[in-house]
Amino acid sequence: MMMHWTAMKKDELEKQYSPSRWSHRMAADDVIKAHVKAVKEGTERARGLAQTLLNVPYGEGDGERLDAYIPSTNSLVRRSQDSWPCRLLVKVWWWLRSATTLLPEVVALIPVVFVYVKSSIVQYVKMCLLGNMDLMVSQVRKSVVSVVQQYSHISGLYLCGHSAGAHLAAMVLSTDWSQYSITPQIKGAFLVSGIYDLLPILSTYVNEPLKMTEEVAIRNSPSKLIPQLKLSSSCCQIVVAVAENDSPEFRKQSEYYYKALKSTGQNVTMEDVPNTDHFSIIEQLVDEEYHLVKLLLKMMGKS
């Protein structure tokens, strides 16, 4: 990635990596409140319609637990606030949610597994107070492996992540699976308004709880790990999406990651979503007519 950010002052970098300051809909504090409200209401509408299997362990850590959600109607329902966007993907089998004390949640769909990782920058910082970047990445990889092991009949894995969650989903793509007992069959990845190079945030508030060194940032930057992607361009489809009103740095992160993937022959497309900001781009996943929803369903062969 180009090193344009090195010329920026700290306050400008922090503005660039503060998504709420770039919304055209409302003031920064208001857009966050509206996002929280939308997430809460979406979850409340979805709550109560599913049978659940809760706190199934996928690791030895206290927070390494897996929740299974089995819809009792044609509508997907989930409990946690961060799980609500995927409720749209109805008329398909089982849903699972995996969460740790450190990580955004992972939602998986059976028999074609759909993994959803969501985290805002603020959530990222809060979670990092409890651990470190290496551990976060390790746990999200472990949770994916556990889902595949427990449901060995699945025919493929689809990843989706938003914001810092897109970073974690991209790190799953960059996994050296020889270190694990299985190699998941990843058929697609849907990366929304993500961060793919951690070096620019080293001098910002985001790194204050993380205390990442340059070495840690590099080994956890998907854009630096593209050479080790072992995905077949014929079987794994990657969509890199960015909001029209994301900050210039967020937009550049997506553009550079897309171009780097493309240069290695990956099956990747980029979606610049008009009339959206960092929050509305993911909030609209409840709308079946939303462009990204149609793309996601098409990727999974459900359109």
Cβ atoms of 68 and 94 closer than 8 Å: yes
Query: Which residues, at least 6 apart from 10, have a Cβ–Cβ distance to it below 8 Å?
Result: 203, 204
Burial string for 213-222 (b: 16+ CB within 10 Å, else e) reads: eeebbebbbb
35 is known as an active-site residue: no
Sign of CA dihedral 40, 44, 46, 47: positive
* Distances in whole angstroms, Cα of residue 149 to Cα of each of 76, 143, 260, 272: 23, 10, 31, 35
Q: Which is catalytic among the residues 67, 82, 197, 246?
A: 246
246 is known as an active-site residue: yes
**Angstrom distance (rounded) from CA 282 to CA 295:** 13
Cβ atoms of 232 and 208 closer than 8 Å: no
Q: Which is catalytic among the residues 163, 223, 247, 254?
A: 163
Sign of CA dihedral 278, 284, 285, 288: negative
What 3-state DSSP class applies to 209? Answer: helix
Cβ atoms of 244 and 275 closer than 8 Å: yes
287 is known as an active-site residue: no
Q: Which is catalytic among the residues 35, 162, 167, 278?
A: 278
Cβ atoms of 233 and 267 closer than 8 Å: yes
**Token couple for 51:** 């049978």
**Angstrom distance (rounded) from CA 18 to CA 246:** 10
Cβ atoms of 80 and 99 closer than 8 Å: yes
Cβ atoms of 291 and 243 closer than 8 Å: no
Residues acting as catalytic residues:
163, 246, 278
